[in-house]
Amino acid sequence: MKILHLLYESWGDPFGMGGVGTRAYEIYRRMRERHDITFLCKRYQGANDGEIEGIRHIFRGAESRSLAITLLSYAYHASQFLKRHGHEYDIIIEEFSPAIPTFYQFFVKKPVVLQVQGYTGRLYFRKYNPFYAVVLSMLELLKPGFYDNFIFVNPEMTKKTSFKRAKHIAVIPNGISCELLDMPYDEKDYILYIGRIDIYGKGLDILLDAYKEFNKSFPDIGLVIAGDGRDRERFEAMLMKLPGDIKKNIEMPGWVSGDKKKDLLSKALFVVLPSRHECHSIAALEAMASGKAVIVSGIPEFNFVAEHQAGISFRPASAASLAQSMQDLVSRRQRQEMGRRGRDWIKNYTWDKIALKYEEFLHKIAGQAESGGTCRGEHG
């Protein structure tokens, strides 16, 4: 197949790359030998068209320090690209983002798949000014209704998204690398957060408040916050305001990958993910694959943690509840048993298996588009 994937975050993007980009690279890295794959990405300073990790990259849009301007420019230029070149591909995958106000389904006759990896809903009104929040929430509600084909990463997303026109539907979750399953278990004196530096969305303000309380009982246990993102400078400014004895216990190594990432995961006491909203957290899956217990906010997208007894949930947006959960998990040796249960469950969700399901679904849509058939169903 000749595949075009509209990917608004990519390697090297100064606004950071989260689960959307990570998922794309992990899946297509396993498909690139069998298919002709192109990523259409938003432009950033220094971005040049060409191959990255064996995948063709085309960058479109304006370079700007404003994320809003960058996304709007990308939306326009991506639409123009599809008008001129959309017919050259067998199938097109669009990452759903209300901040990119496009309806690519109308620009091409080839099948377009809308991949839905998150839902924000009313939380927009707590994160942005009212005008912007109204626009985003309306687009989030209305845009999927114009598409025929969907991939969801979490079954919770199917309950929140309107897809009355849908012909093809699949739930294909995120995955983990096989090598994480083989890492030896170890513990050092730190708790780990790993993910995008998004203060509100990822609940990093909650984490800091909880750690200040936790530190009173466990002053020798550190906190490692690994990741990058557009809130990094603002978050570092928040750290600078902390008392010195707490600040010295917090480390920010930046974006980690490879052996550094594996080392941080394997030696953490446990992993904490205090998100206010999520999709299907790759960080949680990787922690489980590493044999680590996880503490997560009690939102529906994290239900799988409690269902498989791989960690504990705290009351969403409550620093006091998170602090108590952290204290409980440090004091109890049950965290090792939680880690074993999580690792046993997650072994069926490797990226190799996920990529095969993804590839099969794209083949089905492209094949039925050629034959004129339709289907409707879900794939776990």
Query: What one-character-per-residue DSSP string does 8-43 give?
Result: S--TT-TT---HHHHHHHHHHHTTTTTSEEEEEEE-
The answer to whether 20 and 39 are in contact (CB under 8 A) is no
Nearest C-alpha neighbor of 266 from the set 250, 288, 244, 248: 288
Give the C-alpha separation, 235 to 290, whole Å: 27
| Residue 379: per-residue pLDDT | 47
Give the C-alpha separation, 160 to 140, whole Å: 10
| Residue 219: per-residue pLDDT | 96
| Residue 374: per-residue pLDDT | 47
254 Cβ neighbours under 8 A, 6+ residues apart: 226, 227, 228
Rg of the chain taking only CA atoms, in angstroms:
21
Residue ranges in the chain assigned as alpha helix (H): 19-29, 67-85, 124-127, 130-142, 155-160, 204-217, 232-240, 244-247, 258-267, 282-289, 303-307, 319-331, 334-346, 351-371
Kindly report the pTM of this predicted structure: 0.85
Domains of the chain: 2-175+350-371 (3.40.50.2000), 178-346 (3.40.50.2000)
For the chain, which ranges sit under pLDDT 70?
369-380
| Residue 140: per-residue pLDDT | 86
| Residue 375: per-residue pLDDT | 44
Single-letter amino acid code for the residue at 98? P
| Residue 372: per-residue pLDDT | 58
| Residue 106: per-residue pLDDT | 77
| Residue 67: per-residue pLDDT | 85
Q: State both tokens at 328.
A: 């409980």
Give the C-alpha separation, 52 to 11, whole Å: 8
